[in-house]
Every structure is written in C-alpha cells, then in structure tokens.
Structure 1
C-alpha cells in the first residue's frame, strides 16, 4: 500500500500573513482526501427534521424499559467494562503519517479518537489522535498557528517539512493540541470512579484489562450520559432530575466563549485550538446564537479544494455543514444546539444525545413558562437565511459563491432562531451534578475552565479582539468579533 501523500498546502513562514492566499499553492497541492476511499460526505449522519427532534423531546427514551441487565442495580456499582466494546478501539503507530491517520479517524466515526502506540504489537496507549489534533495541525500547515516559545523549533521543523512535501508522522504533532493526560481505569472499576473523572472535566477514559495496561475499551462522557439517559427508568435517583428545569438545578456557567458570525472560519479554529475547546457558539450582532462549529467539522476541510473556506465567514461555513448533512433549502433545519433556563434537564440531555454534542448553549428564555417549547418550531431557519442571502451581501469566498452564498451576522433573524447567549451547559456539568448528588466529590468544572482559560490567555492571536460583555443577567460572554 503506498505511503501517505504530503500535506495539502505549503506552510507560509511563521511571520507571514495569517491568511493564506486563495490562489497560491492550494489549487495544485495534493490534498488530504485525494487518496482516501471515502469522502467526509459519505460519512454524513442523517439530519433531524423538526418533527423527529420534537418527537424525541416529547417522548424521551427514559419512558421506555431500560436494558434488563441493569434493572434493579445501583448505577454507581456497574463496572465500566460493561459499557465499552473492544471493537471501538482503533490503533495507529506513532510513525503513521497524519493523512493516513486522518482517513482512519474519519472512517472510524464515534468515539472519534485513534489510540497511538509505538509498535503494532503493543496493547498499551501512549497517546491519542482526534479532531483537536487535526485542527491544531491544520493551523500549523496553513500558517495560522501561534506557537509558544517552547514550540518555535518544532513549528519551524513542521513548516520546513511541509514546504519540502515530506510526510509528517503523528509523533511530531503530539504536542500541538492542548490536551490533558491520559486517564485509565481497570474494567472492573465501577461507574462511581468514572463519573468523578468526567464530572471534573475529563472527556474520555481508557478502560484496561484488569491488572494490565491492555486497552479493551473507551468510555466517553457522551457514552455515559447516553447510558444513564437510555436506562433512566432503572436508576430512580438519576431519573428524578430529568423533569427539573436548568434554572432550579443551578448547573452550567455564564462564562462563555463565542464568535461573531462575520468572523472568518480560521478565527474560529484558532479560538478553539488556543482555548482547548471542542466547539464554539456562532452569534449574530445582538449575541443571538445562530449556529455551532465543532472540531469534528474539520473533516470538511481535508480536501485542498475546500481550504478557501478558511477565509469564508463562520455563517458561510455553517451553511456548508448543513449542506454536508443532507439539509437543503431549510426544509429539515432545526436549531438544536441551544436551550433556555426553563428547559428541563430531559430536554437538554435529549438534544445532547440526539446531536452527539458536548455542550448546549443557554439563551435567554422568551417565556418563564416551562410548558412553552424551548426551541421555536415555526421560525426561519439559518439554512433558509443563508441560502436566501440578500443581493447586496458579499460572499467571503468568491470561488464558492454559486454553491454557498453568505449573509452577514446583522442580516440573520437570530432572536427568532434562538435567543441571546447567556451561558453554556456541558456534559461535564451534567455528570458533575449526578456525581455530587450521589455523594461523590468531583472537582469543580468551573475551576477547571478558569485554569484552562488563564493558561491559554497569553496565546490568543492579537488580531482577535477579546471584549467581555456583561449582560443585565450577570452573564459574561467573551465574544470573538
């Protein structure tokens, strides 16, 4: 089998303009996807219609009988090994090229991570490769990364290899993304151990065969939340929380990072990489949520023909995301990435599970009545707005004008699509709640977030403004405009 092809574009010098020229090397460079058997489009997940999502919210899975294996058991004493499957563990050696690993990551799907090892016969993981790593690598390749002093030599070496069209092995990009240490648990450990880690901000745990370092499964925050959701009727202590509204539960945080929809996609990717985020809210000029961009969407940029999207607006890229998911003309669009303070926990978890998301954006409630739908049904969709752009709007990427016209953040009916951004609730917040109410002692997720932001504040590019906007409700939104 032939080796991986070189990276798709030539990396500009470290002090060059942060925006790659659209017509320089992009059009004739080899791409990530040219030698891949399947494109990201073929890996799309079915989109949710308004009716399908509303049906999920009205009739959540906890109303169904849970898995009989767990009926009558204390969820805290269920072993982590019972929730994982060895088939979900995918391996790559550290000397595998980034492009080959990217193909593996896209093809494999959830849990969206490749475990790394030194030799093919090893069963212990020494690292991971996921979409955060791919995002960090892409920023280096196109000259948009902002290295810290200790990273300058490595970044220069990567830039030189890119210019020389050499293959770059995974071992050389392991320090690019902001990541925590690997967390492992033996398969006989119970869920109380796992939920303490998850409630403290750990996103995934490697499950090992008892008494060894052999990885036999991967347990993620989302997998655990889905398990507790699907089997809620078997766990009364957890099930009791689902009818409660977010405001009464006092979970989540008002400290929120967002980006204005008129900013370029490259700015959004930089913010996520610098802040160690897996997703970011996209807002209009009145701070209303109009979309969501995650690191998993980076797979749409693995072809050199799509790299001009880095210079398009975030709103523009959202239209591409929706199009790749099979959504056309706004017919199937449904703003599923937000909730309000009067949404129930069941409503929130249903959205997280349905969209496989790590967080929901909290917006101002239109009405304090819990009976009012938290997400309006009969409102203009963002897809419709994007595909019906006014004549005086200017697409951010002229070469994509015919396929993906764009509108400005000022032209979107954001208040009717969602509401003003006031906070965020994540899987970490939900699992932290379950852990605390079960007598466990996870670390504070807000303290973890504050430490992460302090550690990354010095690495934000000067071109991205960081005004802090305090609303009348006391929330703080760090809006990247």
Structure 2
C-alpha cells in the first residue's frame, strides 16, 4: 500500500472510520474540473508524465494531521509503559495468600559443609546461584541448614584477610589466625569464619505453607526463607526479590496488589529517611567496612552536594576475589563504580549507567520495575539535584579519567599478563574458575562518558524490598511486625552510627567521607 494511503487510516481518537475523508483535519483530494472531463478522448487517453502529475499534487494528509497522543499522554506512557502481562490461568481468580510456597520455589538449594573451604563456597556462590546464598550443613549427607554463606559473609571475610576488619576483643585472636592462614595460602574452612559476620535468623517453612506467612516474614525484615519437604529437608530458598518479581509479573491476577502500582511513593509514604551513604571520593575499603559494620547490603554513593552518583553493594565484592584486585580497595568509590559499569557493558554488549534511584513522584510500578530489572534490594529516593559546595560539582559532570591501578597498568603494558592469584586460599590449586579483575582486560571508562549518565538528584530517602512487601502484606489484611527490629538486630553497635541531621530533621543522612 502507498505510504499516504497507509497514514490515512483511522488514528486513536477518531470516529473509527477507515475513510480518509472522515478524518478531522485531512483534506480530500480535489475534484476534477469540467474542462478536464470534456477533454477529447485522444487527450484523455494520453498517459501523463511524472512532472505533470506533480504539477497539482493533493495536499499530504500529514500536513494537518492531529497527534494521536498529547504531550502529557506521551510522558505518562514513558513513565508507566503499558503492561504486556495478562491474566494467567494458573493464578487467575485465586487469592495469593492461599498459594503454597512450592508453587514459587524450585528445588535449587546450593550446599556446602562446615569443612568446605571458603574458596569452594565462594565459587558455588558466584556460579549460577539465583538464590544468592549457599546453605551450610554439618555433613555432606545432611539436608538441614545450620547457617548460610552469602555476599555479606564474603565481604566480612575479605576485610579480615586484608587487615581492615576491627573485631571485638573476644574475636581478635580468631581474626589474626584467619589473616595468617590467608597470607600463607592455607585453606580456611567455613567453620572458622562463622564469627565474622552477624547472621540473620534462619526462618524455615514447609513447602505446603501458604504465602501469607512468607510475606509477613519478609515484610518484617527477613530476607530469605528456607523451604522444606515433608521429611523436613531443605529443598529450596525463597527470598524477597523472588517474591517481588512474582508479584510484578503476575499482578494482573491479583487486584489488591495491582491497584497499588499506580500510586506515587509520596502518597504511599513508604521507605525511610534514615540513610547511610558514602562520599564518591572515599576509598572503596571504607564502603565495604561501612556495609559490614552496619549490617547493610548496599550503600548510596553521593557527591559533596548529596547527589546520588552510584551504588555499591555486597554483590560487587565478586570483583575483589583476586589478589590482583587489591589496588581497587585504595581507589575511590567512584572509580570502582566505573569499573563495574564498564564490565557490565562488555558482558551484556551494551553500555550501562546507574539506575538505582527514584523520586517521590515515581509510581510504585516504576520503582518495582527498577528493583526487578537491576536485582537490587533498595532504591534511593532523590529530589532535584543540588549544587555541590566544592568543585567539581559532581563526579558525573566532569570527564575525569581515573588513574589506572598498578595491576591494570601492568596488564595493559604486558603482552601476556600472568594469571591472577585468587585472594581466597585454595584447597588444591588455582586453576579453577576465577573472577578476573575487570581492570586487567576492560578499559575503565568514567561514568560521565556512558550514555544516560546525569545528576540523579539529592538523596532524601530509601525504599527497600522490605518496605514494599510490608505494604503488600498490610494492604491484604496481614500484620507484619516492624522491620526496624530486624534492621537493628543486623546492625552492629558502633560509636560512629550517630547520624547528623540535615536541614532541620527533614531527613537524617550519615555521609561517610
């Protein structure tokens, strides 16, 4: 079909007719004059040339065509894209509170024994582990979990190995022993590191338990639930992110949940204004210590104007499991973020940029979509960007090029760089799968050079998975406990945890520099 004819079809907002003359604002082709109709037959039979046809062309329908959407409608479409989710016959018409955990949790628990080396447990944790946790048992034939090993534990172990941990008096001897073994490449078992990090209580539920009990636990601040079979053997793990992803994908089947997605964060009043962040110029080691000491899984990275410029989580510790990556600990947090983003761009074949923030006028749908897309535990709430009191205004505004670490510089200049030595003491050899230092094979690109990078805005709050699942539970008539109790339990006592008040108590932000 000719393009002009195609454009003449009815548009959204028309009366539904396919005739071009019925469209408002579209002129009809001019009628033939009488003089043309009375031409001799031999002239009428003459085929007109292209130039003659263009002498009096009909006006294009595009010239007066009304837009199908207003500017506001386009903006709303960008903020809240149409959902392609449809009713699922498996869940349609059901009350999600009566669903069994077995319907959501596959049998994919990853195990390690108490005598398993930290290196082996780390490889299990980093390789194809959707639950992001390794369950620890006493013996290899047991199916009862007595503890867990996750990125927070790996972070705590790393800090001990490099001498950055600050243990209590009763743990000094144990920390020194671990550090000595690591330096001598002596295998260290999971049994020896059980005192390094504060453990979350293990919550165990049978597979035939209903989902209401699980979401009450998650809304109370529990991060994961161990699911058992009829023999009380752990068969799988359900975590907060997996449950939120389920509610995001299947929201069309649950009106109580679906109606919340259109609400603004400002109106829902969820999240907290008690925030701990770290300055972009601070050493990476300070960020790792901060997360370990405060029991956090991630911290916001801000500039001197409190604008969010990035995010560092315990999951990023995987970039630091080789001895060649040790120089990164002394580099700035901003430099480390550029390393992470550069690696993501190479792995996924496209550039990446931070998307770990929302604003008070973001909808819950927008927030949940970002959490699911980035596999994050929290989104930082920001307002309009504020000027920084020092130059440069923000790391994202300058095209600064981080100074390469010695390891990265050596790798660039060497024709065949040596294989990195794993930081975690090996049990047999270091020829197994290892996480390479991104700086060795990936050019570190400043985040300012990545498409889409810009000032996000001034940090004012945070919305976590716990906050959203707590909202879902309460909206469905359930009674989760106050999540602050769990947060206080995970947070280690520290004299530095007194947080200065910013702008008369409107929000409380502790910025570590």
Q: Which TM-score bucket, shorter chain as reference?
A: 0.7 to 0.9
1:325 Cα deviation (Å)?
Answer: 0.7
Whether the aligned pair in 1 keeps the contact of 2:215 and 2:470 (CA below 8 Å) is: yes
Are residues 416 and 324 of structure 1, via their aligned partners in 2, closer, same or farther at CA, if it must alter by over 3 Å? closer
Alignment partner, residue 247 of structure 1: 266
Structure showing greater Rg: 2
Alignment partner, residue 122 of structure 1: 142
Q: Pick from 52, 65, 80: which aligns with 2:86?
A: 65
Superposition map of 1:26-425 within 5 A: 58-59=80-81, 61=83, 63-86=84-107, 88-210=108-230, 212-326=231-345, 332-365=351-384, 388-389=399-400, 395=403, 397=405, 399-400=407-408, 416-425=454-463
Are residues 237 and 154 of structure 1, via their aligned partners in 2, closer, same or farther at CA, if it must alter by over 3 Å? same
Aligned partners of 1:302 and 1:332: how far apart in 2? 24
1:163 Cα deviation (Å)?
Answer: 3.5
Structure 2: gaps of 5 or more residues:
1-75, 386-393, 413-438
- The C-alpha deviation readout for 1:13-57, integer Å capped at 9, x for no partner, is xxxxxxxxxxxxxxxxxxxxxxxxxxxxxxxxxxxxxxxxx9996
Cα RMSD (Å): 3.0
Whether the aligned pair in 2 keeps the contact of 1:206 and 1:215 (CA below 8 Å) is: yes
1:452 Cα deviation (Å)?
Answer: 4.2
Whether the aligned pair in 2 keeps the contact of 1:201 and 1:448 (CA below 8 Å) is: yes
Secondary structure in structure 2 of the residue aligned to 1:134: helix
Aligned partners of 1:105 and 1:55: how far apart in 2? 39
Report the TM-score, using the length of structure 2 for normalisation: 0.72
1:160 Cα deviation (Å)?
Answer: 2.7
Secondary structure in structure 2 of the residue aligned to 1:95: coil
Moved more, 166-175 or 354-363: 166-175
Aligned partners of 2:327 and 2:501: how far apart in 1? 31
The alignment of Structure 1 onto Structure 2 pairs a total of residues equal to 398
Aligned partners of 2:161 and 2:234: how far apart in 1? 32
Structure 1: gaps of 5 or more residues:
1-53, 367-381
Aligned partners of 1:268 and 1:109: how far apart in 2? 25
Secondary structure in structure 1 of the residue aligned to 2:494: helix
Alignment partner, residue 443 of structure 1: 481
1:226 Cα deviation (Å)?
Answer: 0.6
Aligned partners of 1:385 and 1:109: how far apart in 2? 37
Whether the aligned pair in 1 keeps the contact of 2:396 and 2:447 (CA below 8 Å) is: no
Aligned partners of 1:90 and 1:113: how far apart in 2? 7
Alignment partner, residue 477 of structure 1: 509
Whether the aligned pair in 2 keeps the contact of 1:257 and 1:479 (CA below 8 Å) is: yes
Secondary structure in structure 2 of the residue aligned to 1:108: coil
Question: Does residue 431 in structure 1 map to residue 452 in structure 2?
Answer: no
The structure with higher relative contact order (CA 8 Å, sep 6+) is: 1
